[in-house]
Structure 1
């Protein structure tokens, strides 16, 4: 309630907006999928969309479909040849001749040949023996016809498949040790590699497209299998009580795990990826069907199947009418990024590369059911060479000629053209329910919206009111004036509804164009109950957005309160005088509200960010604009505690902790002892407390202290700490600033106060021209820095009696 006695009804947040009715579907927004899209409504027909990241309601953002004008030949599965990146940023891929592996090192301006099939015969020592004489015999290397599929494992092995007249198998290159590849064969089992994918544990998935199966190899390239437990063997107890043990078949004689659909018929996959919860995702793209199918397997057990028929609703960027249509997705390749990845989008997400439009479509995946919810982010692939999508460095990459670049989100968006909603009808009879004034004949006053109205967009408001709910639905809609942007911000005293949109380093900076609070004065809206109809319109390139809505009632009449009754008697036609005096009323009421609530400015918890500097000057505090807002609020809120401790060790260290510690609480800021090192990085040591010989040491150490800061401070932070202590310490004291590297000195350091026992993070491997000598150590050189290999002369067997 404001100072004039007016109140407001509020719509704010997904719960309130979800109760509004989409007029096109005659459904609440929450049931139309506009608030939280569900798998059943992955692309709802509703033209509304609630952006939870910004907490506002806007027009639905459509998925744009990019048409590659330069491509003349359609993408075929044969274009996929496999690629991977090692831990040092070097890319490897199979060349067009399928006999050569190309590579491009990080920072290199051109690619080069890394290995070819012809290299197999360079060191061949085969001999032909005649006359039955004895001699050494070595087997000739295989003569593969082509290379098929490539990946780089997390343990830094490059694995590439091959097939030829001598059979099929895998070549394994140790990227640490170098040298010739090791060959992995599969015995008499049918095997024809097609696609390879690395596993998080260092293993490899191998897709056999020809035989409709896949193989799983562990980090030591043993083929995973399963057999029943024997009596007396160690085993794991499964969920159903059965005893099973994992085994590895070094010489497999049976095919890999078969890939079949729900009817038991074999499928024709084109790509394989590790899925969630140790499952395997398989992509099937059959041109005869026109859409792809994603299947999830646990070994040979089918978990779920998800056809990509009519899966996304897209628009053509060149369509001036931005008419959307639902299409099926025919994918050329896919990739699954697990939780923790932030590029190109927050994961876990399933990315599928469209074979028709040279773009990637991202889907949120339900691991249990396989339900896919399409994201509306536009992820184009510019001049894609179609070797495939590659997971590397927790993000997604694609090939651009002989370069590899990250998949990125294109910033230009397309939105629905228009959408209309109406607020929910009051049920009648319940006090305080939305848009019930509980006043018969109530004159509704103003409507204010915290909204974004970019250029080319608009918000249109219509209203109707009545004293009975049954009559309300029969009333005609009355068009209201276009809402105008308020110059003074929100009408709520000292409130900032756009705090999250401001620059934290400069909260006084102006908001972006079109962002703010807009208002209109209700025209001829009289009755106890109110209903609003809101329409958002735009040209497709942008969308207006509404964060919150406030409908004020009843109108405080200047005519009735401040003018003689004769003016009210003669103001019946269109109530011109009433509406005219509402303009100064709106200005004066806002000023009176700010005066009435001026106490909010004097509380650090409620003051606006822009007013903190002003509030700090009341206490002779000069706040650095570079300090975070929460730190400035904490400093002002506890200014009395700082002044009571001014010049004391607790006061000095408390001031520094407010600025530099990762988290701050009133309990720990002023605590000198027993502060966990993982919490506070600032230490103050009074010199007289250190061990020294006799009273002479105490006299020399009196009024002296040492300020200790970690070397990991950013540039300028140590100097800032030095200036703060210099200005805040008592004038008769002296101090020195030390870094952690020089703190542990016998007879000077105090265990548990300014030092601690544990793993040190202060010393790192030395980087030339970057690391101070005293802050680093020389790391082991290759091959002694390899942690996942046995290295001769480093990893020794324990000494013992001779065998």
Structure 2
């Protein structure tokens, strides 16, 4: 049975050529979704809430504070809420609970709640009389304002015991109170006054001027200033904000809010304002704005929202985020998003099968459908394009109407080649609905989607490599019932809510429909009605066989490491005796599989080791054999440089000690340090003490002749990696070198991630390019070539006649580079 062909529609370039109505295009994922509205339905912008309604909301406002854990508690802390309609509450697992807060102590002590008998009001079951504000001062204490009793309580944060009671000044009636780095600040709405008090001082009235603005909220920071929100009584006037420090007051105008109600100074230079918006026929909506706030500016930073905010309190949590209270919990403020339109549609350009009277087969749509959302798909087929006189231009997606002239010309040219089918957006002529689409797992119809393949346009199967693209995705499948035609148009309707939208990322349409009916004898085609029913019945099995044939046709891709699915890499590696370390990524695995046969042939060679490590590190690697760094000058017996004499008893010829195995410098230092340690331990024993650790110490070097011979005469090399050091990658490279290097060799790995540092990190000819060539070439300094038997290294001693570069010298006698 013949495998059908496919037409794909995905990517920003192709989606932009379609016709959009109330839809927007999300560019990072190239997905179509419902557009966001400019404002919430029913909310009248530019008009303020009536004063009576506003002050009713203000009187329901309370205060919240997060209490951090204390040394005698085993919990991270808890949240307190001053609810004017209830009492001082704390947040438990099952919602807001009245005091006391259970006190968690160590397991060997009894659990006992905190006592509040001294705080309760006589004749009342409440501990506090309409608590409306709660704030912390720099000394770790809590200040609580009771609006009913007009009383200020000072509480200890660790156990909420009462430390002191303060009263407002005579004639004042406080509605809100806050603590700052310098003192207390309170607002008196009824008398239109603002009061301040330094810690240990007296109440002072703050002059608000004569502009008629009422103080309705205050907020302070323990390490910063205090702020006061002023509401204008005149609808034409602007609201205000005061910034109060110990010796200065700064005033600002609020130009972008109509009814600010909530105020929180989350940081010394960042505050949040909450605005209540009255919506017709729906609950009050609260929107929040964050501002950069200092002595010279009040600048809007971002917009925020919180689902289910009950207007009782805002506070800063341990994660430095701002949290808002809800009916039975708290939720963080999240970036604000405007409400979406609830319906929209996209009409595609003409998909061309390049075959007259083509029978289109199935449509596959990669989409995400949250609960309460749906897609409606209609199709239209024709052998002819609409006449140019009746063609209409496609409407761009919401938010992408401003195109460059080049883009406009490209889109217009694409519309002329493959125009829309409908004459008007509401045109229904020739459109057939596909009805209910079958839900399948994401891209279940795709046998082996290409991975990492660059197409002439964007990836025909949708964007890949983006976190969260395939999460909650599914593929919708539908059979196209339309009569044959060369061109096909699709109209996809999106239905959602103000907060949820369906998402469409890509679609595929198969054409030249294969049919099992074609394999039946001609007798079955004699009756057209019977043939149609038989064809439809066999279509139930045709879909399964078609997908099986597609997988068989594309089986060769499983053996290609460049395009095989990621989950098949382990399986493919088993055929080549290769198992992957979990610490290496997918691109490295694919490259290893692509070059593994060549690496096997080069195993144990310098070229093979360099290429293997270059693949693992995804960078440049060089192998430096130690014998290439040996001195070129012979050893001298007698006077050296006219002033030094050789001592025959300790004469070293080419680094060897006369009469024995060579002794490396590090071995000599290790043996010397070990002998000194043994000497100190003997002295401790002679004095009657006990050395640590007790017992005999093992020898620092293995004295086995074979091991000692191998340690001294093994071939040595250094692996220089020009990449930043990473612990996991270093472990992988170490294991790979141990398994891939020749036997009876010793190696060391040097990571060069600091760049070019002459005299310290410069390997001329290995990691430094001094020309435009991509291969090794010696650098020429004057007439002396660098890179053959001369190296640029740290000088040991200055000798007359040597060429010196800063702390290094260019010499024929000293060629040992610095250790990595």
Q: Give the structure-2-normalised TM-score.
A: 0.48
- Bigger RCO (CA 8 Å, 6+ sep): 2
Between Structure 1 and Structure 2, whose CA radius of gyration is higher? 2
Question: What TM-score, normalized by structure 1, do the two folds share?
Answer: 0.48
